[in-house]
Structure 1
Amino acid sequence: MTTGIRQSIYFLQQEYERGNTRPLEDVLFAWRGIQQLDPHEWRSFFALGGLHGEPFLLRRAVDRLPPEDTYAYWGGYCNHGNILFPTWHRAYLHCVEKALQSIVPGVMLPFWDETDDYSLHHGVPAIFTQATVDLPSYGLMGIPNPLRSFTLPISVSDSYWQDQNASADEARPYYKRAGYTTVRYPLSGLVGNFGDSELTYAHNQKYPDPKTNDALLNNNIVAWLNGPEPEDPPPPEGANIYASYRACLFAPNYTVFSNTTSAAAWNGAIPSSQANVVPLEAPHNDLHMAVGGFDAPQIVAGNMGLVSGSNGDMGENNTSSFDPIFFFHHCNIDRMFWLWQKLHGQTRTLEVADDMTDYPGTSSSDSQGPIPGVAPGTRLTLGGTALKPFRNPLTSRPYVSTDCVDIENQLGYTYGPGSFDDLSIDDQLRAAAVKPGFSTRKLMVRGVDRALFQGSFLLTAHATVTDDGGKTRQYYLGYHSVFSRYSVSSCANCRAHLEVIAHFSLRSMPEDEVDRATFTVKVHHRGSVLPAGLKTVLKVRG
């Protein structure tokens, strides 16, 4: 049934530069087309982007949430932190692709291969950052690049019942007016009230040159993808996005592969000598934060700090889907999902094991939770839980995950060449090896409450060892990204599961130094002061 091939966007860019311009032109023209549609039409980019997060007003109207209950909004349909994360976003991309094909029949959504050689050395492909593009096949030259940004045709907010003229204490916590244009690192897009707007304006005045900003973005992406440079002591293996993508393909079952909640529970239960499982959602979160406004972890680990005031749209769940790069990033996430399926022989059927049906990440009360209208504590299933609001045209019923397992025969597409295509299960054994004399133990971090923070934040872990002579030696143990909403405490499905649990391998430390070490975890966020009530629980396992 396969009818289309999703290619790497960098491959299409190279073809364009060689003179084969039409494939990339079709993609650009289709994106321009859906961005120009009436925002109330389902095919419009505004309506499609709004399915993931903002504007919550649309979600309330569809699902009849009571406006008098200020804690009732659910923040869009997206699934994070549960077993529906890969399948919901697969259905989402399929819907967006159909909209693009309504503009250019047969066009396919490309993927940004974030771990190919180009990205590892240069950052995002240039097609995402150049200001204008030429589409000679369509008679269009020097038009604004539809993949660089998007300008909102309608205002969005997450507390729409509040009066925009209210006092500062009552003003919307997250609000963007019609005419706002999405931004990426190192710029800020936080404009919810007068105070935020003033700070954002002052911050962005420091970065007036688009070319310089593109260079800063690309340098940051390269740093996130590759991790720290070798030093003494050496950084931990795997402390980068490339290694996380590679490791997630070895996750032993769909449940722990699919989401951070299930993986955290798994890592807390397995023997410390076994390598941590990396879920697909982990590198997904990292890329959001890299594009959206956080310095690479090794930079913040070195106390150089964030780009103070940076707050790009990709860095928060609220409006990340209004940045066009969101969909090319998620297309790569879906490709990695397909690679995992092929590697583990699950391209035709997908299941949550019988002994994991009540596992963390399989309930509507886990992490962000599912979608409006699902009662807390509801068991999530691949064959029964609807992937709202997407409907299967073959059955006229809502899509469920089992409708989206076989991309070739159920959805009619496959993927062109990309990184990790040649990976095999045999590679897992080499990745799990521990150097003689080094620790097999882990540091477990618990107790960090997401509700204390506005938006996403980052944890970095460190160990300090003092020898008998008083000389200290510090180890950087790695990082953990928390991709979150700007206002978690007022989001009903976010409040269901607020604790952050992270596990850090101690394999970069000699075994005889672990018991003498002092462990610390730093929280890197956009506020100037850590919130009151912040607590962490540190425990060495093994």
Structure 2
Amino acid sequence: MTTVGTRRSVQDLQAAYDRGDKKPLEDVMRAWRGIKSLSPRDQNSFFVIGGYHGEPFEVRKAVDALSPTDIYAYWGGWCNHGNILFPTWHRAYLHRLEQALQTIVPGVMLPFWDETSPESLAGGIPRALTAEKFELDGELIDNPLRSFTLPHDLTDDYWLDNTGGETTPYFKPKGYETVRYPLSGLVGNATDRLATWQHNAQYLNHAACTEKLDSNIKAWLSGSGPDGAGPTPSDPDPSGFGIYTMFEKCLEAPNYTVFSNTTSAAAWNHGASGATELVVPLEQPHNDIHLAVGGFDLPGQTLDSGQVTGSNADMGENNTAALDPIFYFHHCNIDRMFWLWQKRHNQTEKLEGPINLGTGGYPGTSSTDNQGPTPGIPPGTQLDYTTPLRPFTNPKTNAPFTSEDVVNIEKLGYTYGPGSLEEPTKRVPAAVKAGGSKKILTVSGIDRARFQGSFVLSAFATITGANGQTTTRPLGHHSVLSRWSVIKCANCRTHLNVIAHFPLSTLTDEEVENATFSVKITQRGTPATGVKIVTSVN
């Protein structure tokens, strides 16, 4: 019989610690310090497990299906994004990390950062994940949950992904320590190192940095606008554009296929109109948190709102995100949301509903959708619940885990303690008008190969009133979690078109008829050229 442990929220562990029950949080700290201290060749080390998601690529050259002489391609890691394996692959990933933690402290469980809790809305990130120091066994140590220092260089030079003869933007040297908003972590060439040094010199005080990070998280969660208005007890996301609302809506997704990933949801929404509710996939608020921690101005906010430009931190980019410990506390909450969706839709034993929603394969159900060829799976292969979730092995079969193997989390040995959004809500954000328009704004024509790293689309409506005056209103944002060099990534370049959908429920039909629509792109690196954004209303 499988022993079932409970993954508690970080906030719960912190509250217990503050009451004097220190062991649960101390055990987490002890386990994390342990796996980070292991040899980088140890299969239970954080360096090895953190590297499954992205960098370092060079230690797995043999799995690349393409010829190393193809200078326009490099393998982008084992992670699955933009397809139906996104929730299940990351579930297996967390299970592997938890097993490593338990080799240090038997029975310890990976906590989740409850991102939609009242504590997060009011205070941002739990301090256990941001504090500079932690007292453990009578010794004041560096907080093992705050960052990670690389034991080896991270570089993809092997793939000839260089610019101007210099090392790539996402090269990280041995001794580099991961950073979060408002700091920058671009150190791959002389130009970037100088810019990063100048930027980070403004933020040398850890407490002040943490305050800015928490402020950024709160703004993203609540969808606050340029006036900086935050959540209220009665309405945690009055704009309806924040991460809180995205999580609420993803739990309403009608089937696993469109719940699981942005590619399938975009295809579903492309056919939506009238009374059809837009689907929010689990992967969308997931992307938002990555960019909130990794550093982007809040979409729609002006620079005088206090948000920091120039932050290029590790969580905001796929190649390095999993080397920041906060990645796992974030993804533990993503997995909890997956479990909440399963319970709400009676799919805790078997994932049901259509994988292939259309003839010829639905978007997001192919091994070459969005992220490109899945390692070890031929291009164009239909993905399903029996597709291997490499590199994770099921000890019961000694074969790769599949989605079928990880459907019931209690059979894997864990469940979740209390957290937010466990009960369905019927909250209507303040910005949504009674009798608001059912029409949808579709944004397309955006090739992510033109962008360096992750970026955000923000949509706006400029409305002309009867007196001829115009007002501009935000319609929401769409985060794209990407890589610094997409066009050269074999796991990316087969599906490059970004399509985003924005409900127009904050406008009346009359306002929609009298509106012009625009899209702002917030990005890193050199501004993209030749981007022809297409907008349509249906």
Pairwise same-fold verdict (TM > 0.5): yes
Cα distance in 1, alignment partners of residues 89 and 340 from structure 2 = 17
Residue aligned with 1:153, SS: coil
- Give the drift of 1:352: 4.8
- Give the drift of 1:303: 8.4
Amino acid at match of 1:421: E
- Give the drift of 1:503: 0.4
Q: Does 1:375 align with 2:373?
A: no
Q: CA-to-partner distance for each residue in 1:458-504, whole Å, 9 max, x for gaps?
A: 01000111224221111111100001011111101200100110001
Amino acid at match of 1:246: E
Cα distance in 2, alignment partners of residues 318 and 354 from structure 1 = 28
Partner residue, 1:274: 276
Moved more, 263-272 or 86-95: 263-272
Matches within 5 A, 1:282-293: 282-293=284-295
Partner residue, 2:323: 322
Partner residue, 1:240: 242
Cα distance in 1, alignment partners of residues 185 and 529 from structure 2 = 26
- Give the drift of 1:228: 1.9
Amino acid at match of 1:217: L
Cα RMSD (Å): 2.4
User: Does the 8 A contact of 1:60 with 1:73 survive in 2?
Assistant: no
- Give the drift of 1:130: 1.0
Amino acid at match of 1:531: A
Cα distance in 2, alignment partners of residues 446 and 303 from structure 1 = 30
- Give the drift of 1:160: 2.8
Residue aligned with 1:276, SS: coil
Partner residue, 2:499: 501
Change (3 A) 1:88 1:281: same
User: Does the 8 A contact of 2:273 with 2:440 survive in 1?
Assistant: no
Amino acid at match of 1:95: R
Moved more, 396-405 or 431-440: 431-440
Residue aligned with 2:341, SS: helix
Partner residue, 1:362: 365
Partner residue, 2:456: 458
Amino acid at match of 1:284: H
Residue aligned with 2:185, SS: coil
Partner residue, 1:180: 176
Matches within 5 A, 1:314-353: 314-353=315-354
Cα distance in 1, alignment partners of residues 245 and 504 from structure 2 = 16
Cα distance in 2, alignment partners of residues 189 and 435 from structure 1 = 42
Which of 367, 385, 406 is the matching residue for 2:408?
A: 406
Partner residue, 1:95: 96
Cα distance in 2, alignment partners of residues 436 and 419 from structure 1 = 27
Moved more, 472-481 or 357-366: 357-366
Cα distance in 2, alignment partners of residues 55 and 83 from structure 1 = 25
Cα distance in 1, alignment partners of residues 225 and 428 from structure 2 = 22
- Give the drift of 1:141: 1.2
- Give the drift of 1:161: 5.1
Change (3 A) 1:124 1:67: same
Partner residue, 1:540: 537
User: Does the 8 A contact of 2:226 with 2:300 survive in 1?
Assistant: no
Partner residue, 1:54: 55
Cα distance in 1, alignment partners of residues 454 and 502 from structure 2 = 19
For structure 1, list consecutive stretches of 5 or more residues without a partner in the other structure.
none
Q: Does 1:531 align with 2:528?
A: yes
Cα distance in 1, alignment partners of residues 353 and 405 from structure 2 = 15
Cα distance in 2, alignment partners of residues 354 and 47 from structure 1 = 32
Q: Does 1:219 align with 2:215?
A: yes
With the length of structure 2 as denominator, give the TM-score of the two structures.
0.94
User: Does the 8 A contact of 1:113 with 1:119 survive in 2?
Assistant: yes
Residue aligned with 1:463, SS: strand
- Give the drift of 1:271: 2.3
Q: CA-to-partner distance for each residue in 1:297-330, whole Å, 9 max, x for gaps?
A: 2325x88696232101000001000000000000
- Give the drift of 1:243: 0.6
User: Does the 8 A contact of 1:13 with 1:24 survive in 2?
Assistant: yes
User: Does the 8 A contact of 1:80 with 1:369 survive in 2?
Assistant: no
Aligned residues between the structures = 529
Moved more, 454-463 or 69-78: 69-78
Amino acid at match of 1:360: P
Partner residue, 2:234: none
Cα distance in 2, alignment partners of residues 364 and 502 from structure 1 = 22
- Give the drift of 1:236: 7.8
Cα distance in 2, alignment partners of residues 510 and 336 from structure 1 = 32
For structure 2, list consecutive stretches of 5 or more residues without a partner in the other structure.
231-236
Partner residue, 2:15: 14
Matches within 5 A, 1:358-507: 358-369=361-372, 371-383=374-386, 385-409=387-411, 411-423=412-424, 427=425, 435-507=433-505
- Give the drift of 1:59: 2.5
Amino acid at match of 1:257: F
- Give the drift of 1:531: 1.6
Cα distance in 1, alignment partners of residues 65 and 469 from structure 2 = 63
- Give the drift of 1:90: 0.1
Change (3 A) 1:239 1:538: same
User: Does the 8 A contact of 1:159 with 1:173 survive in 2?
Assistant: no
User: Does the 8 A contact of 1:236 with 1:508 survive in 2?
Assistant: no
Cα distance in 1, alignment partners of residues 420 and 259 from structure 2 = 19
User: Does the 8 A contact of 1:371 with 1:388 survive in 2?
Assistant: no
Change (3 A) 1:147 1:370: farther
User: Does the 8 A contact of 2:225 with 2:301 survive in 1?
Assistant: no
Change (3 A) 1:439 1:131: same
Amino acid at match of 1:505: P
